[in-house]
Structure formats: C-alpha cells, structure tokens
Structure 1
Amino acid sequence: MSDFRLALEQAWLKKGLIACVLRPISWIYGLLIWFRRMLYRSAILPTQSLPVPVIVIGNVFVGGVGKTPLVIALVKQLTQKGLKVGVLSRGYGRHREDALSVNALSLAKDVGDEPLLIARSCQVPVFVGKNRFQAGRALLAQNPQVQIIVCDDGLQHLALNHDLALCVFDERGLGNGWLLPAGPLREPWPMHFSASAPIISLATSHQLPQQPQVDFQVPRALAKIARKSDGSTQVLSQFSGQKVQALAGIGKPQSFFDMLRAQGIVLTTTKALADHDDLQAVTIDPSMGDVLCTEKDAVKLWQYFPSAWAVPLVTEIPQALMDIILAQIGPKLSSDYGQQTT
C-alpha cells in the first residue's frame, strides 16, 4: 500500500489540516451526489427492477469494510431456509465490464476476487457486470429457479431497484464524517434510506467517536482451519511457534494481522496491500516461513504461490436480523421463481 494512500486514509479519520484543505472539493462532490439522486428521483435517469426481491449489502465508507464474509453468511443462511439464491456484483478489479457468469474455475482478473470467493464458498449462481440490471437479467435467464438476489455492494448503484438494503461499517465508523476527498464517505450520512435500512457493525471495538447508530453487532472471526489450494488443511493453532508471514489485500489489512496475533501466531513479516490489489508482482520469500492470507487474497495468490494458506473470515447473522430480512422479502417472493417461503 502506497505511502500517499496510507496518509490519506489516516487523514480521513480526523478533521486535520489535510482534510480541511480538501473540504471545498467535498462540497462540490456533495452537490454532484445530490444532483445525481435528483435525476433518479425525477425519473430522468431510470431505475429498473428485477422480477425477484433484491437485497443490497453495501457501505458508505469508501474502500473495503470486510462485508464479503457477511454476504457469504447471508447467502448460506438463506439457502438453508430453502430459498434459491443468486448473487450480483460489480466485480471490482476485473478487466472486463460485460455481464459474466462466475464459477469455481473463473479467474479473478475476469470476474473479480470477491465474486470468485462467493461462488466457490456458496456454490450458487453468481454474475458480475457494471450494469447490475443487465447482469441480473442474465443471471435469471440462465437460472430461472432463483427466487432472491443478493447484491454484493451497490448502495450507490441507483439504476437497480432493491427491496432491502443492509449498510455495513467496521471499527472506523464514519471516519471524520466528511465526504470524499476530505473524508471517507461516498455520500452524506445519514443516507436517504438509512431510517429503514438495518445498520450493521462488524467491529468488536471502535477507534473513533463518530459512529453510526448500529442496529446489529456482527463481529468477524478467523476460522479454526487454514486451507491450501490443493485442499489440504491445518488447524490454525498449529502455526503458533512457527515462522509465519502474513499477507492481506483487504480494506483494513491490519485487522487481519491483529486477529492472527490474537491466536498466538508470531508474524515474522506482514504485507499490507490495497483492496483488490493485483498479487502477481508480490514477492514472497519461502525462507521466512509459511504464508497466511485471507480467502479473498488466496483466489488470486494461489495462481502464483499455491502453497499459501488461506484463513477464512467467518461470521453469522443474528436470528433477529434474519427475521427482519425474511419479513421484508417473504411477501415479495413470486411463485414463478419457486415455492413461496415465509
């Protein structure tokens, strides 16, 4: 991760000199956001709907907040309820913009790292595309059994209508509370729908005083097992006392390193990369010990370093939140897409 990016991310956490200098640009950005929303509200720009309920899981804090484990947990828990689920994603970091089906053999450069991880973890139909509506139509055309779509990110994608939005934060909360580029927010908070959207925090502790009013605390944890590309596994605690190096290209790499250390693992080196970073140029010295990385990094890293160990980040959605989700989407499930579930 570049020194400039690190400095900017630190500036976003307080109302210091850098943030104050950038504040006038944030006002212009805020006007553009308001004008864009007005175009959609007045139907000058169209909002289109899919024939099945759509749940959006997203964030207003720019960059990653670690919501992919939450997406995976929701898809799995909906599937356990007997629902046929599909997933849509922009596929950040991919080299294409057209709608494309994702499967376990897809390449991250074509579909994005997060959609590939979701497809491998959940084994449900996953489509990526810049135009979420077109990607959704393609998904339903190939998978007519799908009853509900979970959209990974997309709070700011106003061209696709959604039935329920879940807004996710990590321990950084709202940062300094300012819009880009003076702060980390993609749009003003509270958002236009925040009164009805469940607010979820993935944090176990909070760094900053500016926090949203959280409805559900859904902390992440490391899985007990690490896995290699060949399917072999090792209990995470067995890495204690060994030489271990860690790599993370997620929104907040330090959180992954801290969780490893909390398990008693001593890290000889750490590599903090930008979210969705291309790992082809990453240099790894095998003499420095085993490599531990997140599952999201592994879908790219295994192409170049198959002996790396992936450590999943796992979470479980509280029953109270699942009750809200099912209450919202249950009446909207169409018999055309399977048996109605409540």
Structure 2
Amino acid sequence: MIEKIWSGHSPLWLLLWPLSLLYGLITAVIRLSYRLGWRRSWRSPVPVVVVGNLTAGGNGKTPVVIWLVEQLTARGIRVGVVSRGYGGKAGHYPLLLSAGTTTAEAGDEPVLIYQRTGAAVAVSPRRAEAVQALIDQAQPQIIITDDGLQHYALCRDKEIVVVDGVRRFGNGWWLPAGPMRERAGRLRSVDAVIVNGGTAQPGEIAMSLSPGQAVNLKTGARCDASQLSHVVAMAGIGHPPRFFATLASLGVVTEKNVPLSDHYAPSAEAIQGLVGPGQTLLMTEKDAVKCRAFAEDNWWYLPVDAQLAAPDAEKLLAELQALVN
C-alpha cells in the first residue's frame, strides 16, 4: 500500500499531504538553523564523505559504501566507516565493531560493512562521537558515513546521493505522503549522484548490483543460485522486490517470496518456519548477518557488489583520494 501511495497511484497521499508540509517545514528549519549558525556543526580533522539518499527505503546505499571502502583501500588509503547503527542497541556509545559484535548491538548494515571490508567501523546516534572514536583508535585517513545526509551536526567534505533509478522520487512529496526526506532540488548541492538501475540522467553515475554465487550460511560453500531447488526467497531490506527480481534474472525459480521489514529483528523460530521439508531458504547478505548464529544447513544468501560506470567512477575516486593527499 505504501508503495502505491508514494508512487502517486493511490489518492490516499492527499490525506497525508498536510503532514508532509509539516515534515518539510521542520526539515527546512533544521537545515537553515545550521546555515545561519544557530546550531553548530562539528568538523572532523579527517575528511568526511557522506553517502546518503533523499528517499526512504532501500536505494543501494550500503553496497556503494562497501564499494568505496574497497576501492579506496586498494589505493592504499586507510578508511573508517561511521553509522548511526539503526536497528541496534549498544550498551555504550560510541561502539567500535569487532569480530564479536552482533547486529543486536550495532545494527545489520554496520556489521555487514565490517564483515565484508574489514575496515574500522564505529556506530553512534551522534556521528561526531563515532568519528572521534575512529580517529583516536584507528587513525583513518578518510571517513565514510553510511547515511547521514540530513545529519547536519557533522560537517562533510563530500556528499554522495544514491538514487533508485527505477522508482526515482515517486510522487516527489516529503514523508509521509511521499518518499522524500528532502526534495529533489537538493541534488543540485551534492557532489555526486549515483543511480542504481534504471537509466542514469546526464551528470549522474550509472550503477548496477552484480550478484555473486550463493553462499551457504553454515559451511561457506558456494554455487550458482540457479542450482538451488525448491527455493523460498526472503528479503528484509528497504525494497524487497529488487532482490526477488534479481533472483528471477538469474533463473532461480522460487516457490515462495517472503518480504520482511527493513532492519527487522529475526528469531530462529520465525525464520525456520518459513521453509518446509525439502525446501531451501535463500536470503540477502543483509539478512545473513542477522541469521548466521542460528542458521540451518539449507540456508543460503546471495551477495551483491556495486558496479559503477567508468570513467565517472574513476573521477569520483580521484576526487576522494585528493582529499587525503
């Protein structure tokens, strides 16, 4: 239902329109308060790059963060990552992730980034505290914040916005009548716009998500996803239909598709109840970091990697590298 409202295909968005105006007013006042100096932003001594979005829901932001970390690390740059840690509740903040950190403590996306990249990752609702913790303990040369475009309490040296190229901006209205956190005009002030799928417009960087082989949660064994049989697909991400479409493009025939809410807290019983005898559970990597502790033999996940079009991608990386040199 919410997708129909946000896309403009349901007239119910008109009922939420007054709340959208209030949301837009509040966000505008917050941003103006920082511009006029009524509220102070903290500037890190280390360059900060924000990777965010203008809309609610999954746009492919986390794969972009992983891509940036891997690409910059390959260039010999020490990268740190900061996140709010949405979906997690730590005993203290800031929290620096370690091999034993759980998604219940740090949230699913920070744990995924840490496990995929090995980079230093810190979480805190106050991102400036997480940045300072990374500087004190990991000495990064550049810091990437996963989300936080609207978190103006932290100064940034570069802003990168990730856009869903298929859904774009829906009906264009602020939450809750539409999907917008900020209006599309905000793109004029950012440093790069990465478009995930669909058709990139002039000045935007085209991106696609490239799936790898399916990975068994318990054994680490790999195989082509199309080789799995009697598949039940599960996706607890911002936009589950993207995952199901990816499986279909790989030739995976699913017996059931199960969309779950983003940042859901799984239980062993609930996930085990999704599959019957002889069935195989196939999930996203974001789901896997939450389910690995109680995984069954027939549970698999599908990792994806961001692929950004050259030469725009190389230009972006050169700009980020210049911040360090």
CA distance in 2, matches of 1:319, 1:49: 31
Alpha-carbon spacing, 1:229–1:71, altered in 2? closer, same or farther (3 Å): farther
Who is 1:252 aligned against? 239
Corresponding letter in the other structure for 1:315: A
Whole-Å separation in 1 of the counterparts to 2:67 and 2:317: 15
CA change 1:268–1:259 in 2 (3 A) is same
Moved over 4 A (4+): 211-214
Contact residue 74 and residue 317 of structure 1 kept, 8 A: no
Alignment match, 1:39: 33
Partner of 1:51: 45
Which residue number in structure 1 is paired with residue 255 of structure 2?
A: 268
Q: Deviations over 1:147-197 (max 9, x none)?
A: 011111110110111111111111210011011111000112211x63442
Contact 1:222 1:314 in 2 (8 A): yes
What do the CA deviations read for 1:193-216 (whole angstroms, capped 9, x no partner)? 63442111111x37xxxx976611
Match of 1:296 in 2: 286
Asked if structure 2 preserves the Cα contact closer than 8 Å seen for 1:66 and 1:250, the reply is no
Residues in 2 aligned to 1:263 and 1:296: alpha-carbon distance in whole angstroms: 19
Number of aligned pairs?
Answer: 319
Unmatched segments (≥5 aa) in structure 1: 1-6, 334-339
Residue type of the partner of 2:216?
Answer: R
For residues 78 and 259 of structure 1, what CA distance do their matches in structure 2 show? 27
Decide whether the 8 Å contact of 1:50 with 1:136 is kept in 2: yes
Which of residues 209, 216, 220 is equivalent to 1:231?
Answer: 220
AA aligned to 2:136 is: A
The answer on whether the counterparts of 1:53 and 1:148 sit within 8 Å (CA) in structure 2 is yes
- 2:238 & 2:196 partners in 1: Cα distance? 13
What is the rounded CA distance, in whole Å, between the counterparts of 2:106 and 2:203 in structure 1?
A: 32
User: Secondary structure of 2:277's partner?
Assistant: helix
Normalised TM-score (structure 2): 0.92
2:311 to 320, 326, 335: 320
Q: Residues of 2 paired with 1:279 and 1:194: CA distance?
A: 39
Does the 8 A contact of 1:224 with 1:237 survive in 2? no
* TM-score, normalised by the number of residues in structure 1: 0.88
Unaligned runs of 5+ in 2: none
Secondary structure in structure 2 of the residue aligned to 1:194: helix
* Kept after mapping to 2: 8 A contact 1:173/1:212: no
Structure 1 window deviating more from structure 2 (273-282 vs 173-182): it is: 273-282
Counterpart Cα distance in 2 of 1:35 and 1:138: 30
Inter-CA distance 223–276: structure 2 relative to 1 (3 Å threshold): same
Q: Take 2:311 and 2:206, find their aligned partners in 1: how far apart are those partners?
A: 11
Q: Is the 8 Å Cα contact of residues 205 and 313 (structure 2) preserved in structure 1?
A: no
Partner of 1:103: 98
Match 1:64 to one of 58, 63, 67: 58
Identify if the C-alpha distance between structure 1 residues 155 and 212 changes in structure 2 by more than 3 Å, giving closer, same or farther.
farther
SS of residue matched to 1:43: coil
Percent same amino acid at aligned positions?
35
1:327 CA displacement: 4.0
SS of equivalent residue, structure 1 residue 70:
helix
Aligned partner of residue 179 in structure 2, secondary structure: coil
Task: Compute the displacement of 1:84 (Å).
Answer: 0.7
For residues 214 and 297 of structure 1, do their structure 2 counterparts lie closer, same or farther at Cα, with a shift above 3 Å needed?
Answer: farther
Q: Deviations over 1:107-134 (max 9, x none)?
A: 1010010110110000110111101111
Q: Deviations over 1:87-143 (max 9, x none)?
A: 111111012372101123211010010110110000110111101111000011111
Structure 1 residue identity aligned to 2:320? I
Shift of 1:288: 5.0
Pair 265,13 (structure 1): closer, same or farther in 2 beyond 3 Å: same
Superposed CA RMSD: 1.9
